[in-house]
Each structure stands twice: as C-alpha cells, then as structure tokens.
Structure 1
Amino acid sequence: MVNFQKLKNIILSNNTFLLTTHVNPDADAIGSEIAFYQILKALGKKAYIINHSETPYNLKFLDTDNVIRQFNLDDYADYFNQVDVIVALDFNRSDRTVSMQKNFERAKAIKICIDHHQDPEKFVDYEFIDTDYSATGEILLSLITETKLVQLTKEIAEPIYAAIMTDTGSFRFERTTAKLHRKVATLLETGVNPTEIYDKIYDQSKFSKIKLLGRALESIQLSANGRIAYMIITQKDFDEFGAIESDTENFVNYNLSIENVVLGLLFIELKNVFKVSFRSKGNIPVNKLAAEFGGGGHTNASGARFFDRNMTSEIINQILSRAVSYIK
C-alpha cells in the first residue's frame, strides 16, 4: 500500500528534484519520468531527468519539452549533489542505474523509489512500492487522484497512458481490471488519443528493427517437450542490420505465442553485456528464475544482465536447465 499523503508531503516540502530510471528504459520508465516532471512543473518545482541510457526513438515523442538527458560524468555528476530529492522511477535496485550508481548512492539528497516490481533492494530513504499496480505510471495517476496534488492535464495523462498501455500488454495482462479501465478512462477524457500513442510506440519501427525481429524469429527453438521456447540474438545480428538494444523490446513475447509454450526466453549478446529476458504464463514465477542469475522483475516478466560473462552455449544451457524445473 502506497502512502500517497507522505509522497505528497515530500514533493511539497522540497524544491529541486532529479528523476531517473533503469537502463534500457521502456514506456513505463520514460512515461513515468515525464509525467512526474509535468507534475513538478505544474507545482513550480525545478526538475531534471537524467538517465544512463538514451531514450528509445519510438518514445522520444513523450518528451515534448526535450528535458531528458543522458548521463556522463563531466556534465551531470554534480547534479546528484545539487538537488533536494532524487526519485527512482520504475526500478528498485541501484545497479539498474549502471554508470550513475556511485553518484546515486553517494548523494546526500532524500532518495525515494516509486515502483511496482517485486523484491526491492533497500537503497532509498522512502519506498512507494506496490506490486498490485499494473505500472509505475498507474501509481502516479493514483497520487494525483487520491491527493488532488495537481490537475490531471493532457500533458500528464499522455505519458501515464503510454506507461499503462505498454506495461499491460495493450490491456491484456493479468492486472488489466475493470478498475484499471475506469482509471484509463479519466486519461482519455483529457484528450489523450490511444490510436496515436499506439501507432507511435509500436507501428513506427525502423526497418533495422523488423530485420532483427526476423532473425530472432528464425532463431526460435523449443525445449522441454515444447513447453519452453527461446530465441538468440548475437552482436553480429545487431551489427548486420544496424539495430540497437531497445529494438528488442517485446521480442521475447513471440515465444509465448507458440502453442503449448508456457515459458519464453530471449538471449541477447551485446558489446559489454549479456542479457536474458524471461516471460511465462500462469503462475510460473520467472522472477525467481531470473533471481537465480542476479536478475528480477515480475512473476511473469523478468530479466537479468551479466556484465562479467560472455554469452556462451554453457550459460544458455544452464539457464534452460533451471527453466525446466519451473514448469514441472
């Protein structure tokens, strides 16, 4: 249960804020940052948004004020020591900030976390976390509606809609309830255009992404008598098509579209990291599977990153072996 009055008091009692989110941000991450920024702007507060990763090209339309900055030590390290509050949005472990981790941890500012993922790390002063919410953006919507902190405008509603729409799989995942639809209706009443937002996020892909998707689909293999499906993307694939990491968003879900498959995996080889995405159906807790390899997330959607290992057949087989134990 989120203490919205406490969150409201922290916001009103301070003047300068630094907002950040996790590596390789999705629409919930970017949408939550922009929505929170617009809330602070409406209150006359000063806010900065600084992320480790560049904003994916299909989400840049959410940043209408062009305020998101990509972190580098020379330009932005001092920002962590110049604000009253640092806000971690849509993540609950400090290592998810990657290059900013030391600056985040050493900062003297009040640190708060607003998130909906499971198994949070104790890395902030105040946690506003509830796993019952469909998205971090939904938490921000409840902050507004329950405390009357600001008026819900289209500038705030649009990024919140993008956050909720994407994190619910376009309103088909488990946390898509009648209550959530009533909340989303209030967003549409501000003038948000759902057709336009869906088109910008999902139907304006670069050609390189579609070519990479083809390679990923071509790589799909089945395991555990057809109950597990997995795909592999190598650095060579990225180089061949000129694609980037954010292009792989939602690729892993294609595994679950195969009949009888209940657990899907996506193995991604990048220049400096090896990444695994986990997805499942029903009550298969892939967050626990991901945790075995230093990752985490939701029951049915999780991930893990390896900064000290290459993608080898050995580690792939090790993860597949452990995955089998979760479907028995």
Structure 2
Amino acid sequence: MKDTQALKDFLQTPKKIIITTHANPDADALGSSLGLHHFLIRLGHEVNTIVPSSYPDFLEWMPGNPLVINYEKSKEAAEKLILEADLLFCLDFSGFGRIKEMREIAEKASAKIALVDHHLNPEIKPDFNFWNDHSAATAELIYDLIVDFSGKEAIDKGIAECLYAGIMTDTGSFKHPSTTSKIHRMVAELIDLGADVNKVSRLIYDTNSLQRLRFLGHALAEKLKVDENARIAYFVIEEDDFKDFRLKQGDTEGLVNYALSIKGIVVAAIIIQGENEIKLSFRSIGDFAVNKFAEEYFNGGGHKNASGGISKLTLKETEKKFIELIEKDILKTRIK
C-alpha cells in the first residue's frame, strides 16, 4: 500500500511511461503489460509497451496488440522512447538479464523503475516495488494495483481479458498449487467485469496449426524419453524438428506438461536446440524445486515447480548433464 500511494503521487501529472517484460513473452507477461497499458492510457499518460523479442501468434488477439513495439524490429525508436521515459515498468521479470539485448539501454535510462513481478530472488532495485513471490501470476499483481489505484470499475472488458489470460496460463489452467481461493474470487470478478473466458481459453489453447498437431504426435511417439526408476520424463527437440514440421514460436509450448502428466513422474523437462544456445524448461510435482536446480546448473530460475534455463554446451552434452544432475538431485531429495 505504501508503494501504491507513492506511485499514485508520482503519477499525479502526465508522465512518459514504458512498460516492458521478459524476452519471448508468454500470456502472463503480455497480458499484464497490455492490461496495465490500457489502464495508464486512461489515466492520461503517454504509454508505450516494448517487448525484447517476438511472441507466439496465439497471443496476438489481445486488445492493444498492434501497439506493442518489438525491440528487435524497431531498435532505434524503442531506445529513444526508453531514454525519454519518466517511468519504466518491469513486468514479470526481476533481473535485467531477462530482457536480453534491451538490458544495456534499460540500465542506462534515467527513468524511475516500478517492479511488478512474482519470481524469486529479485535483482532489480526499484523505486516502486510491487514484487510478491506468493502471487500466482503477474496479472494478479496488476489486478490488485489497478483496484488499489482506481477501484474495480477501472477494469473494462479488454483489461479483464488480458489479465484473465495471464492468470489462467500461469496457474496451468488453475491446476498449480498457486491457485488460491483469492485467485478464484479474482477470476469471478474478471468474469463479472466482462472477460469472455471461453473465448480467451479457445484463442490460447485451441488455435493449433495442422503442423503443430503433427509435431505433437511425432514428439510423443519419437521424442519422449522416460526413466521410471528415476521418475523423470523429458523431450529433446532438435533444429531439424523445427525445419521438418515448420514450427513457429510457441509451437513447443505446453509439451513439457505431457511428460509431467505420466503417472509416477515427478520431474519433466524439454530440451530445445537453438541457433546459439540450448533452452531448457523444467516442471515438477511436489517438493522437488526445479527453480533451484535451474539456477544451480543451467543459469536459470523461476518458480518451485516451473522454471527454465540455458546451456552453451552441445545438445548431447546438455542432455547428458541434465540426466546426471537430475538423477543425483532426485536421489538426494529422497534421502532427505
């Protein structure tokens, strides 16, 4: 409440505001950003949302999507806006390393910083702090911020649908342990405020291309590796898979959850070969903290049961490292 009032005081006069989020934005990152964008515009501020990189096309339905500036495609214009800004909102990330190539200009900017995030161990030192690692999604924090500022009536249908998308996806469609009674009450309010939850769910989950469905079948039949003794399951996706199935960004989203859904599995992963690095995504059930695993071994982090990391090793070396370390850590957890 203290920082809400301080931010409210700061925004008494029109300001130039930049909203940004992590590279490869997901539904929570983009939904939170656009929900906040619409709210701040209505308060009379000059607002620009700048993302470090592109995002899946199944998120392009969100109100305000045409206003989003992709830093990779409009670097010069984006940097000018950041340097002229009075306030920089950092949404759904807590370390400037997560915004990749934008990091240098963001750290150079003279703008005050507002942090709205729910990930562990924040590195950013903000002027206005709305960080809470107990929140299920950054969209939950944006909802609270808007309501604290102006009441529920400030949330229109567009904002409600953006925030619902973030909450729905970051709770795993309300399956994750982070799904509290508060979340359900909040979602009920968003529905009352106009969110068409059937539409949002369909646009995010039920707009598959034929190629993606064929890839899912291929991945489940040919790429899934299971160690029932170690209770792990994972996929290794190669560059050739992207070429063979003409995959687009976002087409591997959710694949790791199929591995985690196998009876008896406690840790699942997907290892994806990129041009310059290997990306890893981890999921777990119960007490095994994949965020600590990702942070210690793969320069990553995230939430206890959902995290990610990167590797500069070859694909085979990365897979070998993952298997050796995860088996050792799972054994260690059992011993404890």
Do they superpose with TM above 0.5? yes
TM, length-normalised to structure 2: 0.92
Preserved CA contact (<8 Å) 2:138 2:166: yes
Preserved CA contact (<8 Å) 1:220 1:229: yes
Match of 1:260 among 264, 275, 282: 264
2: CA distance, partners of 1:13 / 1:2: 19
Go from structure 1 to structure 2 and tell me whether the alpha carbon gap of 1:253 and 1:7 turns closer, same or farther (over 3 Å shift): farther
2: CA distance, partners of 1:12 / 1:304: 40
- Following superposition of structure 1 onto structure 2, how do residues 18-97 of structure 1 map, counting pairs within 5 Å? 18-64=18-64, 66-71=66-71, 72-97=74-99
1: CA distance, partners of 2:120 / 2:12: 28
- Following superposition of structure 1 onto structure 2, how do residues 193-212 of structure 1 map, counting pairs within 5 Å? 193-212=196-215
- State the 1:151 CA deviation: 1.4
2: CA distance, partners of 1:83 / 1:201: 32
Which AA in structure 2 matches 1:108? S
The root-mean-square deviation of aligned C-alpha atoms, in Å, is 1.8
Is 1:323 equivalent to 2:310 in the alignment? no
Percent identity over the alignment?
A: 36
Preserved CA contact (<8 Å) 2:41 2:47: yes
Name the count of aligned residue pairs. 326
Go from structure 1 to structure 2 and tell me whether the alpha carbon gap of 1:27 and 1:12 turns closer, same or farther (over 3 Å shift): farther
1: CA distance, partners of 2:2 / 2:186: 17
2: CA distance, partners of 1:95 / 1:77: 17
Which AA in structure 2 matches 1:238? F
Q: Which runs of 5+ in 1 are unaligned?
A: none
Aligned position for 1:314: 317
Aligned position for 2:194: 191
Is 1:291 equivalent to 2:292 in the alignment? no
- State the 1:182 CA deviation: 0.9
SS at match of 2:177: coil
2: CA distance, partners of 1:281 / 1:2: 36
- State the 1:208 CA deviation: 2.6
- State the 1:244 CA deviation: 2.4
Aligned position for 2:185: 182
SS at match of 1:105: helix
- State the 1:7 CA deviation: 3.7
Preserved CA contact (<8 Å) 1:2 1:128: no
2: CA distance, partners of 1:320 / 1:16: 48
Aligned position for 1:111: 113
Runs (4+) of structure 1 exceeding 6 A deviation are: none
2: CA distance, partners of 1:214 / 1:274: 22
Q: Which runs of 5+ in 2 are unaligned?
A: 332-336
Aligned position for 1:229: 233
Which AA in structure 2 matches 1:34? L
- State the 1:246 CA deviation: 1.8
Aligned position for 2:334: none
Preserved CA contact (<8 Å) 2:230 2:327: no
- State the 1:14 CA deviation: 5.4
Aligned position for 2:305: 300
Preserved CA contact (<8 Å) 1:20 1:50: yes
Aligned position for 1:239: 243
Which AA in structure 2 matches 1:5? Q
- State the 1:257 CA deviation: 0.7
Aligned position for 1:157: 160
Preserved CA contact (<8 Å) 1:94 1:123: no
Which AA in structure 1 matches 2:191? L
